[in-house]
Amino acid sequence: MSRFAGKVAIVTGSSSGIGRATAILLGKDGAKVTITGRNQKRLEETAQTLTKSGVEVNIVAGDITKSECQDTLVESTLKKFGKIDILVNNAGASFADPDPTKTGINTGVDILQKTLDVNVLSVVQLIQKCKPHLIKSQGEIVNVSTIASQKTSVIHLTYYGMAKAAIDQLTRCTSLELIEHGVRMNSVSPGFIDTPFLNAGGLDETSAKKVAEYYASNRDCIPSGRAGTSEDVAKCIAFLADREASSYIVGQSIVIDGGASLVVTMASQKLAKMLG
Ligand code: NDP
């Protein structure tokens, strides 16, 4: 029997990248899946891949920072599938200041607020809303963090790194509250993954390509010698969402970065200079 047979999963940010790959993997392995994101067209593409494989899908188009969208996610999942077993808090973004001279700590605080809204507040709110249902099903939560939140610094990703560091601590603290009720929470911390993430964050096409090529071709940055794929991360998320496979892992974050976090600080300084 498939490992997620009979399970119901909500995967946020499943119109693209890591979230899409996760929804597809959980679905392929037996789960019914609620997918969500703002981009209708890309959401439909995820839905089509899932339905072609015979997966039951619930589609919620909307902005995850809005309370109504979060409510619709929970309510429509319960209405269509009757329960929630797995919540993957994957939707996230990094934003550049519209003024390109403002980087790092000079980036506007409105950008900080936007970063916190999508990466932190929406995650907290969705956990609050799903918690009673996950207690009922004895379910799992997997949050998506990043290596940019760790002790090494990634220059110019200050606000994003701060937001994800909050997710790391949220995972550690809340996992203890939840495990008392039989619910597990863990997270993954990806390194550089080949998705539209950099473009979505406001980096122009040329700079995004430069960054991708720089990372992928430099073993000083990524010892594995390649960018990660969405599937690399999805497999780890699925492992943490699988009670059978990972039942004794609680409140942890698994790093998936090809070894990058062991070398990233010096490399990021060099990269910042290269980009000017
Ligand atoms: P993508 O840009 O490909 O995907 C981001 C997803 O989040 C999209 O589906 C997007 O949907 C959704 N999203 C963003 N903002 C909102 C919003 N306000 N409301 C609803 N949905 C939203 O990037 P990735 O797949 O790479 O990113 C997924 C996660 O992985 C993020 O949390 C990111 O921080 C994290 N991560 C990524 C890394 C990388 O190198 N790619 C490295 C480390 C962590 P839509 O646009 O349709 O709204």
Domain segments of the chain as ranges: 8-197+230-260
What's the token pair of residue 265?
Answer: 């600080």
Q: Are 210 and 221 in contact (CB under 8 A)?
A: no
* pLDDT for the residue 154: 82
CB 178 within 8 A of CB 192: no
Q: List, in sequence order, every residue forming a beta bridge with 142; answer none if it has no partner.
A: 88, 186
Catalytic residue among 159, 160, 214, 215: 160
* Atom number in ligand 1 closest to CA 14: 9
CA atoms within 13 A on the CB side of 60: 25
C-alpha 163 – ligand 1 centre gap (Å): 14
pLDDT number for residue 221: 87
Name residues contacting ligand 1 (CB within 6 A). 13-19, 37-39, 42, 63-65, 90-93, 118, 144, 146, 190, 192-193, 195-197, 200
**Residue 201 contacts by C-beta under 8 Å, 6 or more apart in sequence?**
93, 94, 95, 96, 160
Q: What is the pLDDT of residue 22?
A: 99
Instruction: Measure the CA–CA gap between 136 and 8, rounded to whole angstroms.
Output: 13
Residue 113: count other Cβ atoms within 10 Å of its Cβ.
12
Give ipTM to 2 decimals.
0.99
The pLDDT value recorded for residue 276 is 63
Distance CA 3, CA 242 (A): 7
**Rounded distance, CA 154 to CA 197, Å?**
16
pLDDT along the chain (276 residues), means of 10: 97 98 98 98 98 98 98 98 99 94 94 98 98 98 97 88 98 98 98 90 82 87 94 98 98 97 66 68
Cα 17 to ligand 1 centre (Å):
7
Write out the two tokens for 165: 């560091």
Atom of ligand 1 at shortest distance to CA of 148?
43
248 labelled catalytic: no
Q: Please tell me the residue having the least CA distance from ligand 1 atom 8.
A: 13
**How far does residue 108's CA lie from ligand 1's centre (Å)?**
21
Alpha-carbon 150 to chain mean position: 16
Q: Are 258 and 223 in contact (CB under 8 A)?
A: yes
Residue whose Cα lies nearest atom 33 of ligand 1: it is 92
The type of residue at 194 is D
Give me the phi and psi of 246, to 5 degrees please. -135, 30
Residues 6+ apart with CB under 8 A from 3: 29, 30, 238, 242, 244, 245
Can you give the pLDDT at residue 272?
67
In this prediction, residue 4 carries a pLDDT of 98
**CATH number for the domain running over 8-197+230-260:** 3.40.50.720
72 C-alpha to center of ligand 1: Å? 20
Q: Which two tokens stand for residue 56?
A: 């039951």
CA–centroid distance, residue 198 to ligand 1 (Å)? 10
Q: What is the pLDDT of residue 151?
A: 87
What is the number of the ligand 1 atom nearest to the C-alpha of 119?
A: 32
